[in-house]
Amino acid sequence: MLVPVLLIALLLRGMAIYQFDYPTGPDYGLHLLYGDLFLEAGKAPLYVPNYQLSVTSWPLMPGGPLVYALMSGISGTPIFNLIHITLFFGFIEVTSVYLLAWRIFKRLEPALIAALIIAVLPVYVDMMSWAGYPNFIALSLMPLAFLAWLDYWETPDWRRLTLAVIAVCGAAYIHHVSTLWLGQTLILFGVIQVLIQPVRSLRKLIPIGIAGVIVGLPVALSAINLALQQGAVSVLTSADRFDASRLTWETWARVSTPMALVLGVGGMILFLRSRMPNRAAKILIASYALVTLIYLFGWVIGLRFYYIRALFFVTLPVALGAASLISSWRSPLIRIVIAAVLVVTIGVSAIIRAESSSAYFEIVTPDVIEAVEWLEDFTEPDDVIVMGTLLGFQLPHLLDRPMMVALSPDLISNADALQISSEATAVMMGLTNMDIVIEVRDVRFVIVRTHVPDVPEPNRSRDVMNAHPDMDLVFRNDDVLIYEVRP
C-alpha cells in the first residue's frame, strides 16, 4: 500500500532534477564541491577555493556532502553526476514518517495518511528546486531517529540504546540547521520527562547520554567548531541581517500551503488530546513542534534566525496532525473523502510550486556552460571575477578563478563572507565604492545574468555595467553577459 505513495513522492521531488538540462538550484554547487574536495585530498577541506577569494571557511556540517562523496568513491562516478540519488532519500523520508506514525498511532490508517501528506507537501519540492539537498537528507532521517528514540524510551535495553544513538548521531551529522532542531527537541523532551518522572527518566537519559557522547563525539566537535567559526551565539542574539526573512502569510501560502496551517495547528491540538499516542510520543512531537514554532517567529522574543528556513521543519507536525485530524472522524467514508480532498488539494499545490520554483531556480544551463568555457579560454588564472548570488554558488566547481559573490545579508551564513559580499554587491549595484572595490580587489570581469532571478537584481546590474565608462561587454548569450574592466 505504501508503493503508490512512494511513487508520488518520487515524481514530485524529481521535477527539479529531470525537467531541465541540469538539476535546478544553486546550493548543490558548493555542497557537492565540498564532497569533491574531500575525495581529492582525503580529508575535510578548510576553506572554499576561489569562492569569496578563498577566505571563507565551510559553514556546514559535512555529513550531507559526504553522502555523495561516499557514493562517488564506491561507484567511481563523478560526484556531480550523482545528484539523482537524492530522490532515494525521498523514499526514506516517506517510509520513515510512515513507520513513525504507525509506531505512534499503532494503526495502519493514520500511518498511511501521514505518509501521503508528507509525500505531497510543497515544502519538499521547494527545497529540491533550490537544491537544499543536505537539509532534505537530514529531514528524511529525523523521523527514524525519533522512532529509535521512542523505542528505547519504552524499552530501555542495550540493543535499542545502540540503535537510538546511531540513528540520532547519524541524522545530526548531516546538516547544521537540522542538528540544531534535533538536539533542542531531544533536550526539551528530556527536561520535560525529568520534571514529570525524575528518577525513571534519569535512569534512561544517563546511559543514552553517555553512549551519545562517546559515539557522537565527532558530531559534537564538528557542531562546536562550526558554531565557534560562525559566531552562532552572537548571530542568534544580535545579528539583524535576517530581519527581511520574517515569515509572512504570502510566504507561508507559497512554500507550505494555507492548508498546512490548519493541519499543523488544529491537528496538533487533536494529536495532544488523542488517546492513541502515549505520553512519550506526545512529549517528543510537541517538543519538536515547539522548537519549530520558536524559530518561525523568533523575532518576537529577540531570537535572530533565517526564519523562512524554519518552514521546512513544519512537515512532521503537519503530517501527524493530519493523521490525528482525519482519524478523529468515526465514519470510514468521511475519513476517505477528507483524506482524498486534502491529498489532491495539497498535491496540486505541490505540482504548481514544483513547476514555478524549478523554473525560477534554473541556474546551470548550456549557455552558462558556454560562458564558463569562454572564461577558461580568455581569462588568466588570477583574474578576479564578480557575480551575483546564484551563479556564485555554482561557478566555484565549474571554473578555477578567484570570485567575489554578491550576497544579500540574509543569505550569508558564514561571517567570513560579509566583507567581500558587501564589496561584490557594491560592484553589481553600482554603489559609491564600486570603483574603489574594482581597484583594490583588481577586478577584471563581471558576470551578469540576462534574466531574473538573482541577487542583486540583474536588470540593475546590467544598467550599471552598460553605463560604466570602464566596462566593455565582451561576451553574451541568452543567459549570461560578461563585462571586462578596461586596464
Q: Tell me how far apart the terminal alpha carbons of the chain are, to the nearest angstrom.
A: 67
Topology (CATH) of 366-485:
Rossmann fold (3.40.50)
How many Cβ atoms are within 10 Å of 54's Cβ, its own excluded? 12
pTM here is 0.93
Render pLDDT for 170-226 as a digit per residue (tens, 0 to 9): 999 999 899 999 999 999 999 999 999 999 999 999 999 999 999 988 888 888 887
330 confidence band (pLDDT: 50, 70, 90):
confident
434 confidence band (pLDDT: 50, 70, 90):
very high
Task: Tell me the mean pLDDT in the region 276-283.
Answer: 95
pLDDT for residue 257 is more than 90: no
Strand partners, 405: 387
Task: Tell me the mean pLDDT in the region 152-169.
Answer: 96
Domain with CATH 3.40.50 in the chain: 366-485
158 confidence band (pLDDT: 50, 70, 90):
very high
pLDDT of residue 74: 95
pLDDT for residue 251 is more than 90: no
Three-class DSSP category at 165: helix
- Which stretch of 48-52, 303-307, 361-365, 425-429 has the lowest confidence by average pLDDT? 303-307
154 confidence band (pLDDT: 50, 70, 90):
very high
Q: Give CA 106 to chain center in angstroms.
A: 31
pLDDT of residue 248: 85
pLDDT for residue 280 is more than 80: yes
Cell of 349: 499545490
Residue type for 389, please? T
- Name the more confident of 241 and 75: 75
The CA dihedral of 190, 301, 135, 149, to the nearest 10 degrees, is 10
Mean pLDDT (the chain) is: 93
Q: Is the dihedral of CA 209, 212, 216, 219 positive or negative?
A: negative
Render pLDDT for 367-404 as a digit per residue (tens, 0 to 9): 999 999 999 999 999 999 999 999 999 999 999 999 99
Residues contacting residue 181 through CB under 8 Å, at least 6 positions apart: 142, 288, 291, 292, 313
Distance CA 346, CA 365 (A): 30
Cell of 232: 552562532
Cell of 455: 541577487
Render pLDDT for 32-74 as a digit per residue (tens, 0 to 9): 999 999 999 999 898 999 999 999 888 888 999 999 999 999 9
